[in-house]
A and B are shown apart, each in its own frame.
Chain A
Amino acid sequence: MKYVMMFADTEQFAADLAAMDESERERAYGRVQQWFAENADKITHHQHLLPPETATTVRLGGGEPLITDGPFVEGKEVVSGYAEIDVANLDEAMRMAKSWPACPIVEIRPIAG
């Protein structure tokens, strides 16, 4: 089954990351790279996104489209990346998510069809 894992950051996580020194941050990125390498056979593709201040939201449906700055949900949790995976079932996807070494929230969503 195919799923998308959506990785979400919290303010706390962003602050912790910002407070790290160069070598700590490198180790953190290293752990993420290692996770992708270990799960390479299950990951179809993945992307990291630029921070939410770079986002633009377009709202349709009421005449002229409404353009706003920022993500569509203003919240403390923001999507920072995604990975499409192909695994046997939800338990396997959950097992992967539990071993994710970076941001503190992972949403697992099955792909339709």
Chain B
Amino acid sequence: MTEPSHDQLARVVREHAGRLAAALLPLVGDFSAAEDLVQDAIEAALTHWPFEGIPDRPDAWLYTVARRRGLDLLRRDRRHHTKLALVAWPAEPEPDDRLRLIFTCCHPALPRAAQVALTLRVVCGLTTAQIAKAFLVPESTVAQRITRAKRKISDAGIPYRIPDADELGSRLGEVLAVIYLLFNEGYLPSSDQQIGGRDLADDAEFLAALLQQLMPAEPEVMGLLALIRLHRARAAARFTVAGEIIQLPDQDRRQWDHAAIKDAGRLIARAAAVKRPGPYQLQAAIVACHAEAGSWDDTDWAQIVVLYDMLLHLAPSPVTQMHRAIALRYVAGPAAALAELDTLADQLDDYHLFHATRAELLRDLDRFEDARAADEQALQLTTNPAEQHLLRQRLQ
């Protein structure tokens, strides 16, 4: 037996934690109690598996531990007695009940930070300590968020159900927003905590893929999954060995995962065929334009500008408008792009990429003094070490 790697452990726990919670929940009848049992089982696994190896049936192993703890629990609390006594192996949820679990964790009556923490813990099987480390907050903060959220689920009567068709759109929007937030946190963490820690982008992809499997006809789910996969397909080319950012024009495109890019392209096409466009599908289509271009110069900028127009129509945002201005630079020139960008000054004055983008356009227009001032402003506004390094280089 070889000792399992950190990533292997994480993957196996993640594959089974949500299933186990989904299977136990209807039996225990209480979200919080079921969740505690699963967490106990995960903690036990993380103690034993690194030394004993991952068992052949990790699901059965986790289930056995959860069941034993459950029996202990019911000895203390008679309310659970009859229900847990019925628990019998195997407990394969059919159809996959994890969808209910996801919708409960991402219920709009819970604050976003709690939705994120609960989803990671309940659906992905992260421990409170792992979540705290990934978000650089004290463990007690995460523990409190989870305790409060679970109490609210129980006290306020948040149901364990899949929303009806007429609420599905907005409720699915909550779930997608949680996954997208996780992905962004993992893709460009606001400090360098990632080394040896949890890759939240991987959890985001897992969740998006799970959601796609559970809701195969939803175009926005396909869009988000494609978006995440397209970004991750290019991850290898984004940083130097020393961890410095390599910007898109300078990336070695041979290092991209072209098979994954092709797959994501097919997913976007499938989503488009449903004819219900949405922000995630459009963002994925924009990233696909970059990913499918043979070089920076071959990029279909006109198409990208059109996609941004559609995106702005569905989801107006100054940041999106900024990205449109960047694309416009290659269609209408830097002066036109700068004019568009400058209309956003009031709204984006605190955003480092606004000033960094301005700096680039100003340099294109040979306004070097102004460019320098903009870069300096950008530097003051970012806390990300890789971005700080890039800006310092430009200022030298």
Contact = CB atoms under 8 A, between A and B. Distances in A.
Interface in A57-96: 88-91, 93-95
A93 B167 CA distance: 13
Contacts of B157: 1, 3, 88-90, 93, 110
A94 B109 contact: yes
B159 A91 contact: yes
A95 B158 CA distance: 13
Interface string B89-125: 0000000000000000001010000000000000000
Interface centre among B157, B159, B167 (most CB of A within 10 A): B157
B346 interface: no
B contact residues, range: 10 to 19
Contacts of A91: 158-159, 161, 163, 167
A108 B156 CA distance: 9
A88 B158 CA distance: 10
B155 interface: yes
B161 A110 contact: no
Contacts of A89: 157-159, 161
Contacts of A95: 167
Interface string A1-24: 101000000000000000000000
Consensus secondary structure, chain B interface: loop
Contact of A110 (B155, B159, B163): B155
A90 B161 contact: no
A93 B159 CA distance: 11
Contacts of B107: 90
Contacts of B163: 91
Contacts of A1: 157
A76 B217 CA distance: 44
A60 B374 CA distance: 57
Nearest to B166: A95
A14 B156 CA distance: 30
Contacts of B155: 110
B156 A88 contact: no
Nearest to A108: B156
Interface in B144-165: 155-159, 161, 163
A108 B155 CA distance: 12
A89 to B, nearest CB: 4
Nearest to B103: A91
B156 A110 contact: yes
A57 to B, nearest CB: 27
Interface centre among A1, A88, A90 (most CB of B within 10 A): A90
Contacts of B158: 89-91
Interface string A86-113: 0011110111000000000000101000
Contacts of B156: 90, 108, 110
A61 B156 CA distance: 30
Interface of A: 1, 3, 88-91, 93-95, 108, 110
11 contacts: A1-B157, A88-B159, A89-B158, A89-B159, A89-B161, A90-B109, A90-B158, A91-B163, A91-B167, A94-B109, A108-B156
Given A89-B161, A95-B167, 18 more contacts: A1-B157, A88-B157, A88-B159, A89-B157, A89-B158, A89-B159, A90-B107, A90-B109, A90-B157, A91-B158, A91-B159, A91-B161, A91-B163, A93-B157, A94-B109, A108-B156, A110-B156, A110-B157
The 10 closest A-B pairs by CB, nearest first: A89-B159, A1-B157, A89-B157, A90-B157, A90-B158, A110-B156, A90-B156, A91-B159, A110-B155, A90-B109
